[in-house]
Amino acid sequence: MARVPASVVAAGGLVGGYGVARWTKKRPLGGVALAAAGAVAAREWRRRGGNATAAGLSAAYVAAFAGSHPLARKVGPWPAVFSVAGGMALASWAVTRCQERAPRG
């Protein structure tokens, strides 16, 4: 079975978490979706790069979520969510890709 890249899971968690919260009008339910995707992504980040990579990218995931709130006041909610999701996907891809290429020793 093919794995879904952690970058896609993380971006999907940010977009999906907001979408669930908005459409159900239940913010905690959106938080569950956000946290579940973050946990799945963190597991893959740990598998690919170790604990430090997982911790750093998990912190970036939380920062992206938090950063989307003030950004939404400037550009609107959906553009803010898509912006931070894209940034998170790019960060995840770049870090895990660089670690795949780095010699392990």
Give whole-number Cα distances, 88 to 18, 57, 96, 101, 105, in Å.
15, 8, 12, 20, 28
Above 70 in pLDDT, residue 16?
yes
Mean pLDDT of 55-75: 97
- Higher confidence at residue 1 or residue 85? 85
* Cα 71 from Cα 75, distance rounded (Å): 6
Residue with the bigger pLDDT between 3 and 98: it is 3
pLDDT in tens, 44-59: 999 999 999 999 999 9
Residue holding tokens 């980040």? 45
Tell me the pLDDT band of 4, cut-offs 50, 70 and 90: confident
In angstroms, rounded to a whole number, what is the distance separating the alpha carbons of residues 83 and 5?
19
